[in-house]
């Protein structure tokens, strides 16, 4: 059966995991790392760089490196790289393509299917954009699941007792909190809250602002006018934040950060954990407010929660851990890597789609039998239509479990009206236009009649990926109109997706050719080095002259053009070396 991978497509880092017989395991990338930076760079030569290579080259690649694209998923944001415009879906697809390729290299087989996680507080448009990104990358996205739920599933692998779990997920770009109830193999989400624009990136930016302001006071130089300096400071700020999770103070040093009339200037500053905690206190309190609201929605008190699970790199900050403990009255669990737990949970979910074949190991069978746990999700937003006087007609209420289908009946507001448009919204506000507009459903050829007589049934159907389908039906004539919700400003059309898939495939082929070329280049260097070493130890004769000439021919061909043009000389030298190394006379 085809292998399915679980992907945590993160704001700052992404990870891949697969389900093995003894449980989920992280798949290392091509560098052997367990996480891949969610960074995409475009070199001057046109090469697309993804991961650590892109992150390391960002200082010298200003204006051609993209960070934190996840924050723009489902929006009209565009990335302009020297005149070529990319959507957030395209940039995310480049990250997913890298994860796909690394998985294929690791397993030695093609990977075409994936489960991808998203923040629980992601809107319909953001989820649809994530699915589009997967398709562009050449993946069939079998399921979109919430990150906190995935984390709870991974945690539940080793826990058999019934319990209530609070998942506090503070990542690089988003924050959300979910409360789940686990009973006899079933996870039921009972409350969700969060903020899709609050994360570790914001903490980094606070440190950057502090350093820039301090440098301006000391040197009277505004570093914000120097893009290269700002990128270097951003990297130093991130390192300082990480350091201060382990130590009480750190020194930030960025040598020759910028030039002045006096020559190069160096930024040097000290930062203490206390200073950092003072800077980020408001951010942390925002997460506490969301957590309390999630508790209130679930009608729970802290003592009702059995387990607290921390997810995301920002939960390594001591202040965050203390405040969670203060609010909930108990220590959060820290026995699972907060950076890896989401990918591990996504891998567990692949069991539903592709059960392990053959005899399962006793450990897995004891935990789940032969199936993955059941997850009952819920939506954090009301879903409905805009009505007369800008009222919100709620059809699926917030905190409803899904998959779910709900209906309501509406009528006309004018005599003999032959068409009705239903704007579709997602949000909590009673005024429709203050919510997030998703799409417009228009039904025509309805029964001409005095206002209030026609009966138009609106059906909302939310599937297991939390993708919304809406149908309108005139109950008198049976005329129907339906759409799958996709924000017209952000969702890609089929032609656009097809074009982007072709471009992604071309990049994959270019990468493959480059990898083959790099491998051949390395092998050729090794062959020449061996030949030259052998030639030095040989007596003068026909074979030694032939060997030296063959090396010269190969070097000349390499200097004239691409290595592919020297394949003939490579084969000649390789065959000659094989003959000589077997001990043939010189």
Residue 214: phi and psi, rounded to 5, are -65, -40
Ordered DSSP codes for 235-280? HHHHHHHHHTTTSSEEEEEEEEEEEETTEEEEEEEEEEHHHHHHHH
How many residues are there in the chain?
Answer: 586
Whether omega for the bond prior to residue 403 falls within 30 degrees of 0, making it cis, is yes
- Neighbour-count burial for 145-158, b at 16+ CB within 10 Å, e otherwise: bbbbbbbbbbbbbe
527 backbone φψ class: left, alpha, beta (φ>0; ψ -120 to 50):
alpha
Task: Name 472's bridge partners.
Answer: 458, 481
Q: How far apart are CA 584 and CA 351, in angstroms?
A: 58
Catalytic one among 124, 132, 169, 340? 169
CA contacts within 13 A on the Cβ side of 412: 19
- Backbone phi and psi for residue 185, each to the nearest 5 degrees, phi listed first: 85, 0
Catalytic residue among 55, 70, 98, 234: 70
The active-site residue out of 8, 340, 426, 569 is: 8
Q: How far apart are CA 507 and CA 7, in angstroms?
A: 21
Element (H, E) at 81: strand 79-81
Active site residue 8: yes
State the alpha helices, DSSP H only, in 271-314: 273-297
- Give 541-544 contacts, CB < 8 A, sequence gap 24+: 541/586, 542/586, 543/580, 543/584, 543/585, 543/586, 544/586
Structure tokens at 559: 């200097």
Q: How many Å apart are CA 418 and CA 270, to the nearest integer? A: 70
Alpha carbons 211 and 252: distance in angstroms, whole number: 9
- Catalytic member of 102, 147, 176, 340: 147
Burial of 425 (0-12, 13-18, 19+ CB in 10 A): buried
Evaluate the CA torsion angle 568, 571, 575, 578 in order and state its sign: positive
Rounded Cα distance between 347 and 327, Å, is: 31
Q: Is 494 known to be catalytic?
A: no
Torsion sign across C-alpha atoms 77, 81, 84, 88: negative
Question: Which class for 18: exposed (0-12), middle (13-18), buried (19 or more C-beta within 10 A)?
Answer: buried
Token reading at 285? 């309190």
Q: Is 70 among the catalytic positions?
A: yes
What is the rounded CA–CA span in Å between residue 227 and residue 205? 14
Q: Cα(241)–Cα(232) distance, rounded to whole angstroms? A: 14
Q: Which DSSP letter does residue 410 get?
A: E
DSSP 485: -
* Residues noted as catalytic: 8, 70, 147, 169
């Amino acid at each position: 059966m085809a292998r399915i991978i679980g992907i945590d497509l993160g704001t700052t880092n992404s990870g891949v995991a697969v389900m093995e017989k003894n449980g989920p395991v992280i798949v290392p990338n091509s560098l052997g790392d367990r996480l891949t930076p969610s960074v995409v760079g475009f070199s001057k030569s046109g090469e697309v760089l993804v991961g650590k290579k892109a992150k390391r080259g960002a200082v010298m690649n200003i204006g051609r490196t993209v960070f934190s694209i996840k924050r723009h998923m489902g929006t009209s944001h565009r990335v302009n790289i020297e005149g070529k415009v990319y959507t957030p879906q395209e940039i995310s697809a480049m990250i997913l393509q890298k994860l796909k390729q690394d998985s294929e290299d690791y397993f030695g087989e093609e990977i075409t299917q994936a489960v991808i996680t998203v923040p629980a507080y992601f809107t319909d448009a953001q989820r649809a954009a994530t699915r589009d990104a997967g398709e562009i990358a050449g993946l069939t996205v079998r399921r979109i699941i919430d990150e906190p739920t995935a984390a709870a599933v991974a945690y539940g692998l080793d826990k058999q007792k019934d319990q209530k779990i609070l998942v506090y997920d503070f990542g690089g770009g988003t924050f959300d909190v979910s409360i789940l109830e686990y009973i006899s193999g079933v996870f039921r989400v009972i409350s969700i809250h969060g903020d899709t624009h609050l994360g570790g990136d914001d903490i980094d930016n606070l440190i950057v602002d502090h350093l820039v302001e301090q440098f301006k006071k000391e040197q009277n130089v505004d570093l914000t006018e120097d893009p290269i300096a700002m990128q270097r400071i951003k990297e130093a700020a991130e390192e300082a934040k990480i350091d201060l999770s382990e130590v009480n103070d750190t020194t930030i040093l960025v040598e020759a950060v910028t030039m002045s009339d006096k020559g190069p200037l160096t930024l040097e500053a000290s930062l203490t954990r206390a200073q950092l905690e003072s800077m980020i206190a408001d951010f942390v309190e925002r997460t506490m407010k969301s957590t309390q609201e999630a508790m209130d929605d679930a009608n729970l008190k802290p003592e009702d929660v059995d387990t607290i699970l921390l997810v995301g790199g920002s939960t390594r900050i001591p202040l965050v851990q203390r405040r969670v403990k203060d609010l909930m009255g108990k220590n959060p669990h820290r026995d699972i890597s907060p950076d890896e737990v989401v990918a591990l949970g996504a891998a567990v979910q692949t069991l539903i789609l592709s059960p392990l074949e053959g005899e399962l190991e006793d450990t897995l069978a004891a935990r789940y039998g032969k199936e993955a746990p059941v997850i009952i999700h819920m939506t954090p937003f009301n879903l409905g239509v805009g009505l007369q006087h800008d009222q919100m007609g709620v059809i699926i209420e917030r905190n409803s479990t899904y998959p779910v289908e709900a209906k309501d009946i509406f009528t006309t507001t004018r005599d003999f009206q032959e068409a009705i448009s239903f704007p579709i919204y997602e949000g909590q506000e009673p005024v429709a236009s203050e919510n997030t507009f998703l799409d417009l459903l228009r039904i025509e050829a309805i029964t001409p009649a005095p206002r209030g007589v026609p009966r138009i049934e609106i059906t909302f159907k939310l599937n297991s990926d939390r993708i919304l389908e809406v149908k309108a039906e005139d109950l008198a004539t049976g005329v129907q109109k339906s759409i799958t919700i996709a924000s017209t400003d952000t969702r890609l059309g089929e032609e656009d997706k097809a074009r982007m898939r072709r471009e992604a495939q071309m990049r994959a082929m270019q990468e493959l050719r480059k990898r083959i070329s790099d491998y051949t280049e390395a092998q050729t260097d090794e062959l020449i080095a061996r030949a030259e070493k052998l030639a030095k130890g040989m007596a003068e004769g026909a074979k030694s002259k032939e060997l030296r000439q063959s090396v010269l021919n190969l070097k000349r061909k390499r200097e004239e053009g691409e290595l592919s043009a020297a394949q003939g000389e490579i084969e000649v030298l390789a065959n000659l070396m094989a003959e000589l190394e077997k001990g043939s006379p010189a």
